[in-house]
Each structure stands twice: as C-alpha cells, then as structure tokens.
Amino acid sequence: MAILDALGHALRAAAAMGWEILWPLILGFALSGAIQAVVSHKQMSRLLPDDSPKTITKASLLGAASSSCSYAAVALARSIFRKGGNFTSAMAFEIASTNLVIELGIILVLFLGWRFAAAEFVGGPIMIALLALIMRRFLSKRRVDRARQQADKGLSGRMEGHAAMDDMAVASDAPVLMKLASSEGRTATSHFFVMDWASVWTDIVLGLLIAGALDAWVPMDFWQTIFLTNHATWAWIIGPLIGPVIAMLSFVCSVGNVPLAAVLWNGGLSFGGVVSFIFADLIVLPVLRIKQKYYGTKMAAWLFAAFFVTMAAAGYLVEGLFALARITPTDHAARVVHASFQWNYTTILNLIFLALAALLVLRFLRTGGPAMLKMMSQPAGAGHDHGHHDHQHHQESRA
C-alpha cells in the first residue's frame, strides 16, 4: 500500500506540474511555429560558410528561430554540415536551437523565475562563443574531414525526416504579419506547431515523471549532501560540474529537463549548476550515441569534451556575472514543483490556449499534416520529394 501511495504521489506531482506549464508550452510552440513559418532555412548552408563571428551570429539567430527538439537540432546540424556548411557554425546552430528558443524561456520563467530565463539567454551566447574559440584552436581540419566522410554515409539517428524535408516557410516578400495571416502562413504555422510537439512530447512527459518521482521520493537531505549545501565554496565549485553529469544520466533533453532543474534547485544545487544542467541537453546519452553515428566515435568524444567544458564554464561565468550585478537568485523554492489543480488563472489560460491548439491541430489535419508528420521520423530521403509536393499543394489550397 505504501508503494502505491508513493507512486500516486509522484504521478500527481507530475500531472500537476504538467497542468501548470501547459499554456506556456502551447504559447511557446505557437510562437515558434509562427517564426519558422516566415524564416526560411532553404539557404542555411550557404549562409554558414565559415566560423567568422558574423557567421556564428547568423548560425545562432537561425538556431533560435528553429525547433527546440534536441534530436531535430542535431539532425539539422548534420544536414547543414553535409550541404557544405561550416562545422563550427553547425554546432553553434545546434546549441542555439535548444538553448535560445522562445518556449524554453517561457517555461524557465514559470518554473524558476526570470533570473533563470535571463541566465539562459546570457549563457547561451557565452557557450557558443567559447565553443567557437575551442574549435578554432584545437579542432584539426583532418578530424573535420573524417567527420564529413562519416556524415556523408547518411546513417540514421532520430528526426531525420525533420532535417531532410524541404523548407516549409512561406515564400513571399510580403510583410511578416501578412505572411502569417495568409492561408499559407496559417498552414505552415500549424504544421510547425504540431511537428514540434511531436518532436518533444516524450521528453516533456519523461521530464515531468522523473521530476515528480524525485520530488516525491528523494529526501531533501540527500540532495543537500550531494550538492554540499553546507559548504558555500565547494557548492559553487562542484555545481557547474555535477549539473551536466546529472543531465547526461537523466536521458531527458530539450524543454523536458526544466522540471528536473526545478527539483535540483529546490534540493540546493547552485545557480551555476542549474544553468549548466539546462545547457547540457546536447550531451545526454541518446544524443551522444546519435553523434557517434553521425561523425564517428573520435569526433563524438571530442564534441562531448568540448561541450562539457563550455557548459560548465558558462555556468561559472553566468553565476559570476549575476553575482556582480547582484541579481543571483537565492530562494531555493521553485513553486511549480508543488503545484496543484485549482480553479485559477492557470486553468483559465490553459482552456484558452487549448482552444488555440485545437484550431492549429484542426488546420494541420485538414492540410495534409498527417502525411508530413509520418515523414518527419523517416530516414532522410524516404519520400521527401512527395511530401514537399503535397505540402506545396496544400499551401495553395484555401482550406
């Protein structure tokens, strides 16, 4: 009976957290879908020919306008690299795709407060700049050439179809609002909205379940011992180092790791440690396995080391900068971890945004969306010409 009670507690906690973040998730993915509907990725590889600061900035902006799914980001980065894009710029795009997107910022504000969202958007560019410097200094051309040979084998990872599909953005010189208001814009937004949800829903559910279980089952004393909360200096030192390690072992990536970040923050992990944990969605074990397929074992190991160093360094630097600005959060009490079902503004907003989601899903279903969704998880090259033809046909329709 005690086991069933504990399981019920964990599931209720996970469900309550999920209900608390439902409307911002819908809002975030709707905004992301709208951006992707008007930002073309067709010429992305041509826009990223080198690792100059200007090109790295372009890569970061393109990544921020892209999907937040870690697997899709990794697949898109390889696609950019295979089509002639610079490898360092492709990695910058990959980081921005998972750390500088709208939906992540919204969820961070709700779970942990505006300081953590600010830390993410300050630390993301820092991490990209550090990675670019490390790759320029230590990554040899021969290693990159070997990685390209491996990438050209086209071994499948996850979300291959997402990366290989032709651009779905609206092809028009009209103003942005007119693009979005057009039939093509509404259709493209609905397609991106549903496909982004399909990309990350498993990570979101897994993250909520793990966070609910840890919050319900793991005593606070355990976290405080692990994070050395009674020793301020050591807690500061180990935080950004232990954060990525926990992320690797959690198997949760993208926005799904934010609920777990809230549990770790409540448990006493340092500010920099939580920041580095959130950054570390690109070194979880399933993603590392895919990078091994894409670029070979040696390059995957090199990328793991480079990413780990930059994630930890970004955690230290962000904590230092926020300390100088005197805006470091100190209250280890993420309210949403202890959320409950109530008739309040959250419920009202959830009902409003569920109606918006229903409209987007309905348009998705009426404009050939299911065929595109089926294609998204197929290996690259499997039926994409047909899918692109269908997409063009439905964009031209006035459903």
Cα 279 from Cα 72, distance rounded (Å): 16
Helices (H) and strands (E) in the chain, counts: 21, 0
Q: Range with the lowest mean pLDDT among 173-177, 250-254, 328-332, 334-338?
A: 334-338
What is the pLDDT confidence band of residue 132, given thresholds at 50, 70 and 90?
Answer: very high
Q: What is the per-residue pLDDT for 201?
A: 83
Mean pLDDT within 337-365: 85
Mean pLDDT within 285-294: 89
Mean of per-residue pLDDT scores for the chain: 84
Residue with the bigger pLDDT between 278 and 19: it is 278
Residue 15 has pLDDT above 50, yes or no: yes
Q: What is the per-residue pLDDT for 389?
A: 43
Q: Each residue of 2-32: b (16+ CB within 10 Å) or e?
A: eeeeeeeebeebbbbbbbbbbbbbbbbbbbb
Residue 241 has pLDDT above 50, yes or no: yes
What is the pLDDT confidence band of residue 3, given thresholds at 50, 70 and 90?
Answer: confident
The 10 Å Cβ neighbour count of residue 103 is: 24
Contact 364, 194 (CB under 8 A): yes
DSSP designation for 337: G
Q: What is the per-residue pLDDT for 34?
A: 86
Residue 46 has pLDDT above 80, yes or no: no
Tokens representing residue 286 in the block:
């399933």
**Could you tell me the CA-to-CA distances from 208 to 34, 139, 258, 275, 323 in Å, in that order?**
26, 37, 9, 18, 30
pLDDT tens per residue, range 163-180: 555 566 677 777 778 888
Cα 334 from Cα 215, distance rounded (Å): 11
Q: What is the per-residue pLDDT for 84?
A: 86
Q: Range with the lowest mean pLDDT among 57-66, 94-103, 122-131, 377-386?
A: 377-386
Residue 395 has pLDDT above 50, yes or no: no
Q: What is the per-residue pLDDT for 386?
A: 42
